[in-house]
Amino acid sequence: MRYTLRQLEYFVAAGEAGSIRHASERLSISQPSISTAISHLELELNVQLFIRHHAQGLSLTAVGQILMEEAKRVLGMAENLYSLAAETTDQVRGTLSVGSMVTLAPMIMPELVHNFCTRYPATEIRQVASNHEWLAEKLKQAEIDIAITYD
């Protein structure tokens, strides 16, 4: 097995977002990194996962749709390993997706992330900044864990 969980994560993000650009923004990862990961995954599995529409995003191929569902299951199981390990060691670990208002992000997020990750070194914080409506929608869809907003 020569593919990585990171490649699967990027594949799922691109498939859900419908574009490399949107996946890049969601994951705070460069577009070339995501493109390269997907290309390596396609080579390793010897399948075409996406149909690339120039300047209009991506759409999953039939095999891409099937593999995306499996990739989601694999990623869920991998995340479950962290949860099980944390339960047995009482250690806080894993990824926390934090959304914040665009106006608050530069003032609050650097110190918040630094302090949290210093206290809990086995954690990672994924940050997104947007407006109140977008953050509320992402909370409802469970795409972010918490949101920092006004009032």
Return the C-alpha torsion angle 6, 24, 79, 92, nearest 10. 110
Strand order in the sheet with 94-101: 123-130, 94-101, 146-148
Task: Supply the pLDDT for residue 6.
Answer: 94
Please say which residue of 39, 54, 82 terminates a domain: 82
Average predicted confidence (pLDDT) for the chain: 90
What's the CA gap between 92 and 116, in Å, rounded? 10
Task: Supply the pLDDT for residue 68.
Answer: 96
The answer to whether residue 121 is domain-embedded is yes
Per-residue pLDDT of 95-122, as tens digits, reads: 899 999 998 888 889 998 999 999 988 8
Please say which residue of 82, 102, 123 terminates a domain: 82
Please say which residue of 82, 114, 139 terminates a domain: 82
Same domain for 77 and 102?
no
Same domain for 71 and 10?
yes
Task: Supply the pLDDT for residue 15.
Answer: 95
80 — pLDDT class (breaks 50, 70, 90): confident
The answer to whether residue 59 is domain-embedded is yes
- Beta carbons of 17 and 38 less than 8 angstroms apart: no
The answer to whether residue 87 is domain-embedded is no
Q: What are phi and psi of 112, to 5 degrees?
A: -60, -50
Q: Is the predicted pLDDT of residue 48 greater than 80, yes or no?
A: yes
Distances (CA, A) of 104 to 29, 127, 131, 133, 142: 21, 12, 10, 15, 21
Domain housing 42? 5-82
Same domain for 119 and 144?
yes
Per-residue pLDDT of 32-44, as tens digits, reads: 999 999 999 999 9
* Consecutive H or E run containing 74: helix 62-89
Of all residues in the chain, the percent with pLDDT exceeding 90 is 58
